Structure formats: C-alpha cells, structure tokens
Structure 1
Amino acid sequence: MTTKKSAAKTAVEAKSTDAKTSKLVVSDAGKEIDFRLDQHGEYEFGGPFGVLAIMTGFPALMYYLWICLWFYDGQLVHPNSLEEVKPFLAQMWAHICKDANPSLYAWKVYGGNVIFQLLLAMVMPGFKQEGLPVPSLGYKTLIYNCNALYCMYATMVTATVLHTTGLFRLTEIIDNFGHLMTVGMIFGISIPFGAYFFAVATGTQMRMSGNFIYDVFMGAILNPRIGPVDLKMWAEVRVPWVIVFFLSVSGGCKQYEELGYVTPNMAFMILATWLYLNACGKGEECIPQTWDMYHEKWGFMVIFWNFAGVPFSYNYSVVYMSRHDPSDYRFSTPVYVFMFGTLLTAYYIWDTANSQKSRFKMQTQGINTFRKSFPQLPGGTVKNPTFIQTAHGNRLLTSGWWAYSRKPNYVADWIMSFCWGAIIGFATPIPYFYSMFFITVLVHRVGRDFERCSAKYGKDWERYCEVVKYKFIPGVY
C-alpha cells in the first residue's frame, strides 16, 4: 500500500528535467482506457429529459432575470396567487415581444460582430500552438492559430473609430440589451443543431448516445474547423468575452454621457471584463491544452453558453448600473480599495495557475518556448516542477499553486465572479446569478473531471489525491 509519505516522495523525485527532455508517451494500457472513455457511457445532466429541461429552462430564466432588471428595479417579481399566473406570464411575454424581439439593429450588430470576429480570426497573424494528442484522432496533435490578442485590439480600434465618428455609438449596445440577447439565443440554439447534422453528414460524429436531443446537447463533433479557424476555441474566446467587455464599455459610455463621469463601480466592471478578455487573448495558446479542446464536444452545452449565456448573464451589474442613479450602489473609499484589491489578487492567482498547468503540459510535449504577451505575470511557469508519473503516460502536476489545491484556478475564478455581483452591493440579488450559477457548474464539472481521472489513472490518481489533498480551498475543502 502506498503511504502518504512515499506518495509525496514519488512526486518530489519526478523532476522537471524529465518533463523538459521527453515527450508524452501514452502506454498501451493508457490507450485502452482512452478508447473506453471515448465511448458513450452513462447519461449526464439527468439524461435526455434533463438536458431538454436545461435547453428550454435557461433561455426562460435569462428572459425572466432581464425583465426583473429592466422593468422591475431588479426585484424578483412573481404572481401572488394561481389566478395571477396567466396575466403574469402574459405580461412577461409582452415585455419580450416589445423589448427583446430580434430587431434588425440587433441582427446587424450581433451578426456583424460574429462575422467580423470570424474574418479577423482567418486573416490576422498568430502564434502557432500544438495541442495535446487527441485520442479519438489516433493521438494526432492539431495546430491552433492563436491570434485572439491581435483580433481583440483590432476590434477595440475599430470600435473606437466607429464611436468617435458617430457611425456606431457604443452607448446603443446596452440600450438594446434585450434585442441583442434574443439574437444571441437564436445563434446559440440553431448552431448546435447545425453542428450535429454536419457531423452526421460527414461521418465525424463520436461518442454518441443514440438519443437525438441528448447528442445535440452534448455535441456530436469534437474539432470543427473552417480553414485555419478552430470553431470551438474561436467561439470560446472571440464571441462571449468580446460582448461582455463591450457591454461594460457601453455602460461606461452611457454614464459618461448622462453624468459626465464614470462611477468607480462601472470602472471596476470595465477593468474586470478587460482583464478576462485580455487574459483569454494573451494566454490563448494555453487553451489547446484544456479538456474543453481535446475531449469536450461542440454541442448546445458549450455553444449556447458561448453565444448567449456568458455575454448576457454574467454582467447583470452593468445592466443595473446603466439604469440607476449611482447613489443606489455607492461605496466608501476603503470598500473600493478592498474590491479592486480582491479582484486583482484573484486575477493574479487565476492567471498564473492556468499558465502553470498549461505550460507544464506543453513541457511534457517537448515544448519549452512560450509566447510572451502583455501582461506577463511572475510565476506563470513553475521552475523544477514536481509531478506524479502515471502508468497511463500522463503526468499530474504537484507544484506551484497546484501543490495546494487540485483546482486553484476555479477558486480564483469564482472569487472574481462574486466580485462582479458584489460591486453593486445588495441593491438587487440578480447580479449574483453569475457566481451562484458558476459555483454549481464548477462543482459539477469537478465531479465529472475527477471521476474521469479516477477511471483513467486508477491508483495513480489515489496517490495524487494523497499528495494534493484539497479540491478547492487548502485546509477547508
């Protein structure tokens, strides 16, 4: 039986020299495990009925929360009796039809942004990054053109020119929130069905359950591409976070036009969303090393959230601030200092933890030259990392932030999400939806991830859990 002391010793003895000088080699037993994991097993998310409830329930919930913010001062309205249910629903529907219909303006702005981002991804230069070996492709590695940073700044320059010339006023984005959200939902709902039928028609489907709705939700295709653009990675970065950032900028522009200044709260959201967008761009080469790229298929679960869920439910605080007087959410100077300090500290941990893990994975592939883009934070690469060598062939990092927690990036990410709601205090509970939903997703994802790791690594995973004891917060959980 492996003791905690011997497990820790094993991890310490496995030094980075090995990681830097040898490439990842998957054993025959590891390939057998990967093959089993690439087959459909048990239903997740409650099976076909569960995913159908998610596919219909989340759009309805997003409309409800938007209506509460837009028309009812952020209060969670509801019928008080059964007799009021029908008129209540009729009123909800009337709000959607009038103020959230897919207007021509929304189609031009949302659709134009999607097309613009796709064209930029096709033509802008970028850093060529090799992804992890994909078991379903016979352990072939795909090359990703990481040009999100160039595309992001090209978008900012374009938006600045359009705004200053009056051709497109950024203040109009937040004013058309409902209309844009509906168009985003149309994209988020229709693309998964299109991706499913394309995969079936081209014979590129994999890990299928045989249930149509479930397979549309989970996805049928793993690595959809248009030319040099990996659609899954493109949609994860270029669509949601660009919209989230410009919604915040729109809120700031609206405040400046109406008040003559931008409140610290709105400035906080502009900074927070820029940090996230910029991190996705400057660290895009780390994304091919993630589970999302080499295992998660491109289905409703991923697509809807990228095209509609993230951009129109993560920054409710901006929506609230754009429609309320600053006196409703003003803080004292010490509170602002605390909020900005917490955000920047959490961002540092999140950024460097993600970088440490991804660059360690790159080292196992023999990649030792890393892209440097602004801002490069100290501690992004672990020197002389320790790890546990698994019989599968993979290595489990036990250094840096990953020595204290199995998911330190998730903890920091959640703290940032909580700050996005807390920046307006207790004026309304709706901006806290992001953090409440996010913690549910993270806990569920960790369960899926750890279950898969246990099946994949067996006793080596048990050894790893002995060395890195805590899932999230060291000493707590």
Structure 2
Amino acid sequence: MKNGTKDLENHVDRKTNSKYDKDLDSEIIFEFGGPWGVTAMMFGFPTLMFYMWGCLQFHSGQLVSPLNFELWKQIGEAYIAPGPIVKGLPVPSLEGKQLDYLCNGFFSLYATIATSFALHYYGWFRLTDIIDNFGPIMTIAIISGFTITVLVYAITVMQGKQHRMSGYLMYDLFMGAALNPRIGRVDLKIFAEIRIPWVILFYISVSAAIKEYELFGYTSPAMAFMVLAHFLYVNACAKGEECIPTTWDMFYEKFGFMLIFWNFAGVPFTYSYATIFLHNYSIEHGGPIQHLKYWTYLCYGLLLFGYYIWDTANSQKNKFRMANNGVHIKRYTFPQLPWGVLKNPSYIKTSHGNLILTGGWWGIARKIHYTADLMMAFSWGFITGFNSPIPYFYPLFFVVVLVHRVSRDMERCAKKYGKDWEEYCKKVPYIFIPGVI
C-alpha cells in the first residue's frame, strides 16, 4: 500500500506538472519592450547598422549626428550590390563633367539567377510561367514602354532639363528629351540597356528549356543552344558593364521611345522568336525539333566563334577608350578571353586629340564587332532550321539596323574628324568583312 500510494502521488504530481508546464508554455510574456519595443528594434537595428557603416565609410569612424541629412544622403547613394564606379565621357552640356556609373550588373545578374532558381525550386514562382504567359507579359512590356516614354519626357520637360530638342513632338518623344536621366545614382539609360532586355531574353529561353524538360524528360540540343546563346549575351553585358559608360549610347543618345521601348519590349520579345518557335514546335509535334548532328555542330561553332570575336573586339575597343580617359580598371569577371586587352596598340591621333584604334580586330575591319554580332544572330535562326521565316526576323532586322547605324556613324565621324577620318579609312578600308566589304 505504501508503494502504491507513492506511485499514485507521483502520478498526480506528473499530471499537475503537466498542466503547469502547459500553462507556463502558453503564457505570453512581453519581452524587449513588447510590440512597440520589437517594432522599434526591427526598424531601428538596420538603421543603426547603416548609421555606423556611414560613419566609418564617410567620416573616418567619427560619430556624426544622426540628424545629419548629408550623412543619410551619402548612405542612400551607396548601394548594396558591389561593383566598380566608372566615370563616363565628359558631357559637353554639363560643361565637361564626367558622370559616375555604379557598375554592379555582374553581381546583380547572378544574385537574380540564384534567387529565381530558389523561388522555382520551392514552388514560389515557377519559371515555366514565363513561357506559358509570353503573350500577356509582352503586352505589359509594350504598355510599360509607352508609359515610361511619356513619363520620362514629361518630367524632363517640366524640370527644364530637355536637351537637343527638334520642336516636333512625336520626333522628340521618339528620340527623347533627357540625356542623362537619373534616380539618385542609378542611370536610367544604362539600367534599361543592361539590366532589362537581355535578362528577360535569357529567362524566356530558360523558361522554355525547363518546360521542355518537364514535358519530355530532356532538353533538346536546339533549346540548350538558345539558353547558351542568351546566357553568353546577358553575361557579356553584365561582366563588361564598366565599358558601357564611355559608349555612344551613354554619351550622345537621349532616353526616348527608341531606347526605352526597344529595351523594355523590343529586344526581349522579338529576339526570342527562335526560342518561341522551338517551344511551339515541340508542343505541336509531340517532341523537340531534331537536326542532323553536323548542322547542330555548325550552329554551335558559328555561335561560339562569333561570340569570341564580338566579346574580344568590344573589350579591345572599350578598354582602349577607358585607358585613354583614365578610367581603365582590371576586372576578373568570367570569362576574360585571350586578346581581350591590347598592349601598345596602333592608333591614329586626330586633330581633336581623340585616338582612333587601328590595332587588334580594329585593324581588320572598322565594324568587325557588328559582323560578329550578325554571326551570332544568324546562328539563332539557323538552329531552328527553315520551317518558318519568323525566327529570322531578328538577324534580318539587325542587318537593317546595323547598316543604318554604320551609315550614321560614318557620317558623324567624317564630319568630326575630316582628313583624319580619311586617313583611317585608307588604313582600315573594310567595314564588315576583310577583303569583301
């Protein structure tokens, strides 16, 4: 009986303790100052982190008044994604001022890729939704292109910052009113040119490739080709973003419909016709398109050879230009290809003081990078075969664009450099293909 009584007491204690533990576990105790306290911590601690970093970064570690507006302005202008700050060419309308460009596109691209694949993997955002909703997304992009064109134009005119206006509304809307539109330190032109079109284009192909894999259990060589082609392009733009600030688009072109619409809608939703054709072909025929191996190898070879010329030619010219403007920096973003930077290249010095590169690829043809760009463009069409003319819209349209751009550039250079340009044309007589044209 004694032991039995003890067991009963233990049983009661356990029951009592169990209820006590349950009550204790359910009790809400406000810590850290309760709801108001934790709210203050959630917002206050990140603010403190920025404040401390700002003091270290901009004031040699000295504590500055938290009410100092200049401190928060400096912090606000320093963005999170790392990347070099590169100066553009001297802008005549700004009395020769060289604008700063934060070139963190490479980091941003891979952060975007990692985030998007995590979202896809956990089912929060299926990447296949892109190809499944191509039409609606394209519609939004087109509307966005028009809307942003009008907004940028109106805001620029209201601020009195319009530049090089013709007086004809539709022409000025097309060409743009703003030369260097910015939100803080974000240059809208370089953002629109690098961060939007090629990223969307790449994701369209990635979406189609994943969809093909889900439907058939594999991704075809043709669809893998499109993913590779668009990856090479978007990666090249991101890794070489520091070269963009000294280009003609940044220095001269205004931010109007031509650049806005083309980058928001034109590039991603017309340059992707080959991908859309391959995707729809697989749906209609119950499987991906199949080519003879030699044809597939030919397309891959044309793409990679064209890419090598295009990448290294652009690198040679832009690195040469950056070095002459005192803004050259060494980057180790992948891939840095052989012959991408010239040592002691030949050039012509004009009476204006400008240097025209005649070494490397630029001693072979004046627009060799356009030739390489066209090689890649036609490879995008060739990989689809010849069942439809639509995948060839991009390369054929690109021919027209480049011919116009070259004629425009030649006219401008002839006017600017005069006899120096004539000397250059004699030294480098061919425009696109050495020995041909």
Per the normalisation by structure 1, the TM-score is 0.73
Is 1:395 matched with 2:355?
yes
Is 1:475 matched with 2:435?
yes
Per-residue deviation at 1:220? Answer: 0.7
Per-residue deviation at 1:328? Answer: 6.9
5 Å-filtered alignment, 1:307-326, equals 307-325=264-282
Is the partner of 1:370 in helix, strand or coil?
Answer: coil
Is 1:192 matched with 2:152?
no
Per-residue deviation at 1:162? Answer: 0.8
Consecutive unaligned residues in structure 1, runs of 5 or more:
1-118
Is the partner of 2:329 in helix, strand or coil?
Answer: coil
Is 1:428 matched with 2:397?
no
Is 1:272 matched with 2:229?
yes
The amino acid across from 1:144 in the alignment is Y
Larger radius of gyration: 2
The amino acid across from 2:172 in the alignment is D
The amino acid across from 1:322 in the alignment is H
Query: In the TM superposition, what whole-angstrom CA distance separates every residue of 1:372-421 from its partner, at most 9, and x where no partner exists?
Result: 21110011111111111111121100000000111111110111111111
CA distance in 2, matches of 1:292, 1:368: 19
Is 1:415 matched with 2:415?
no
The amino acid across from 2:325 in the alignment is Q
CA distance in 2, matches of 1:217, 1:374: 36
Per-residue deviation at 1:366? Answer: 2.5
Consecutive unaligned residues in structure 2, runs of 5 or more:
1-75
CA distance in 1, matches of 2:429, 2:406: 14
CA distance in 1, matches of 2:198, 2:416: 33
Q: Paired residue for 2:168, among 197, 211, 218?
A: 211
Q: Report runs of 4+ in structure 1 exceeding 6 Å deviation.
A: none
CA distance in 2, matches of 1:122, 1:300: 28
Aligned residue pair count: 358
CA distance in 1, matches of 2:274, 2:125: 24
Is 1:165 matched with 2:122?
yes
Q: Paired residue for 1:460, among 416, 420, 429?
A: 420
Per-residue deviation at 1:140? Answer: 1.3
Is 1:180 matched with 2:180?
no
* Mapped contact 1:269–1:318 kept (Cα < 8 A): yes
Per-residue deviation at 1:367? Answer: 3.5
Q: Paired residue for 2:316, among 351, 356, 359?
A: 356
CA distance in 2, matches of 1:346, 1:451: 27
Per the normalisation by structure 2, the TM-score is 0.80
The amino acid across from 2:215 in the alignment is E
CA RMSD, 1 decimal: 1.4
CA distance in 2, matches of 1:386, 1:133: 24
* Mapped contact 2:279–2:288 kept (Cα < 8 A): no
Is the partner of 1:396 in helix, strand or coil?
Answer: strand
CA distance in 2, matches of 1:135, 1:390: 19
Mark the CA change 1:226 to 1:122 in structure 2 (over 3 Å): closer, same or farther.
farther
Query: In the TM superposition, what whole-angstrom CA distance separates every residue of 1:408-464 from its partner, at most 9, and x where no partner exists?
Result: 111101111111111110111101000011110000011111111111111111111
Query: In the TM superposition, what whole-angstrom CA distance separates every residue of 1:243-283 from its partner, at most 9, and x where no partner exists?
Result: 10000000001000000000000000000000000000000
5 Å-filtered alignment, 1:211-360, equals 211-325=168-282, 329-360=289-320
